[in-house]
Amino acid sequence: MSETNFVDYIKLFCASGKGGAGSVHLLRAKYVPKGGPDGGDGGRGGHIILKVNPQFWTLIHLKYRKHIRAEHGEAGRGNLAHGADGKDVILEVPAGTVVKNAEDEQILAELTQPGQEFILCKGGRGGLGNTHFKSPTHQTPRFAQPGEAGQEGWFILELKLLADVGLVGFPNSGKSTLLSAVSAARPKIADYPFTTLEPQLGIVSLPDHRSFVMADIPGIIEGAHQGRGLGLRFLRHIERNSMLLFMVPADCPDVTAQYRILLKELGKYKPELLDKQRMLAVTKADLLDPGGEKMLRRRLPRSLPVLLISSITGYNISQLKEQIWNILWTQ
C-alpha cells in the first residue's frame, strides 16, 4: 500500500436517525362514520453500523467524512400504515479496528473478524400510533407517541494491524529489507533512520501451500513507550501480532543490550506483550567474517531462538521462514 494512503487513526461525529412519530388518525369511510383509531406506527431511525471488510487495510476512506448522519424514520399514517425505517449507514472498516468513545477513550468494540458488525449508534424507535391506546373506556384516543431521539457523539477509530509476525527493531535495522526479501511487499528502503513511517504488510509463502502474514512496524527508539519518535502510534500495531521477531543488526556494538532495550520498551508500554512468542534475527550477517561471526555467537542471548541472517545475500532466510512457521503453529 502507498505510504501516503495509510491512515490508522480517525475521529468521527456520528448521529443515528430519529424515530418517526406515531399517527393520530380516525378511520372515516362512506359507511363507517365512526370507525375508531387507525393511526400507524412511526419507522425506526437509521443505525450507524461498522462492518469489517477484509479487503480494507486502512481507514483513509473515512478520513474526510467527519460528520456522519443516518436517515430519520418516517411518521406513521392513517389506515394502519407504518412509516418507513430510516436508511442505515454502514461504514466499512479493516479487521483490527478498535472503536472508542472520544470523550473518555473507553473501548466500545474491537472488530477483528471478516463481516463482523457493530452498531455504533442505534436509531431511535418509532412512536406508536393511536390505535395502540384505544380501550373500552377510551375508544377514540387523539394522541400517539413521538419517535425516540437517535444517539450521537464523537468516536475514535484506531487501527491495530492483524498479522502473524511483527518485526520489532530500532530504525534502520533491516526490517523493510527483510519484508521485501520474503514477500511481494515493496516498502521504502534507504540507508537512513525512519525510512518506514507507516506499517507495511506482506504475505510470506513457504512450500506445501503454507503462508503467514508479516508486519513491518516502523522503528522503535528508546523512550517509545512515552511517545518519543511517535512510539505510541507504532507500538499499538504490535499488540495483535501472534509472535514478535526482534531484529538487531550485526554491526551494532552490543546485540544483546539492544535486544533488551527493545524488550524493555514493549514491557513498559504493555506488560502482556512480553507473553508473546518471540525470536531474534541478527541482520546484516554478510558484514561479518568467520571470526567475527564466531565471536558474536558467544555473546548472543540464550533466552530465545536466535538466527543470523542476511536479506541481501539470502543467508539463512529459508531457515528463518521455517523457524517462524514452527513457532507459530507447533508451539
Highest mean pLDDT among 67-76, 137-146, 205-214 belongs to 67-76
Which position has the grid cell 473507553? Answer: 106
Q: What percent of the chain has pLDDT over 70?
A: 89
Instruction: For residue range 119-129, list pLDDT tens digits in order.
Output: 999 999 999 99
Q: Which amino acid, 47?
A: H
Backbone angles phi, psi at 98, to 5 degrees: -105, 130
Residues 40-53, mean pLDDT to the nearest whole number: 97
Q: How confident is the model at residue 93 (pLDDT cuts 50, 70, 90)?
A: very high
Asked whether the beta carbons of 70 and 120 are under 8 A apart, the reply is no
Q: What is residue 299's DSSP assignment?
A: T
Q: Is the pLDDT of residue 97 over 70?
A: yes
Asked whether the beta carbons of 284 and 239 are under 8 A apart, the reply is no
Domain boundaries, the chain: 1-159, 165-330
Q: Is residue 271 helix, strand or coil? A: helix
Q: Which amino acid, 265?
A: E
Which position has the grid cell 517509545? Answer: 224
The CATH-assigned architecture of domain 1-159 is Distorted Sandwich (2.70)
Adjacent-strand bridge partners of 212: 204
Asked whether the beta carbons of 296 and 288 are under 8 A apart, the reply is yes
Q: Is the pLDDT of residue 61 over 60?
A: yes
Model pTM?
Answer: 0.72
CA dist 44 and 289 (Å) reads: 73
Residues 148-164, mean pLDDT to the nearest whole number: 91
Q: What percent of the chain has pLDDT over 90?
A: 49
Adjacent-strand bridge partners of 93: 52
Name the strands in the sheet holding 165-169, side by side, starting at the edge strand that comes first in the sequence. 200-206, 210-216, 165-169, 243-249, 277-283, 306-308
CA dist 279 and 167 (Å) reads: 10
Name the grid cell of 66: 467527519
**Residue 330: which residues within 8 A CB-CB, separation 6 or more?**
none
Q: Where are the beta strands (DSSP E) in the chain?
A: 9-15, 48-52, 67-69, 89-93, 97-101, 107-111, 117-121, 152-159, 165-169, 200-206, 210-216, 243-249, 277-283, 306-308
**Residue 136: which residues within 8 A CB-CB, separation 6 or more?**
none
The widest CA-to-CA distance across the chain, in whole angstroms, is 108
CA dist 269 and 266 (Å) reads: 5
The per-residue pLDDT for 96 is: 87
Residues 13-18, mean pLDDT to the nearest whole number: 97
CATH superfamily of 165-330: P-loop containing nucleotide triphosphate hydrolases (3.40.50.300)
The per-residue pLDDT for 198 is: 66
Asked whether the beta carbons of 42 and 86 are under 8 A apart, the reply is no
Instruction: For residue range 276-289, list pLDDT tens digits in order.
Output: 999 999 999 988 88
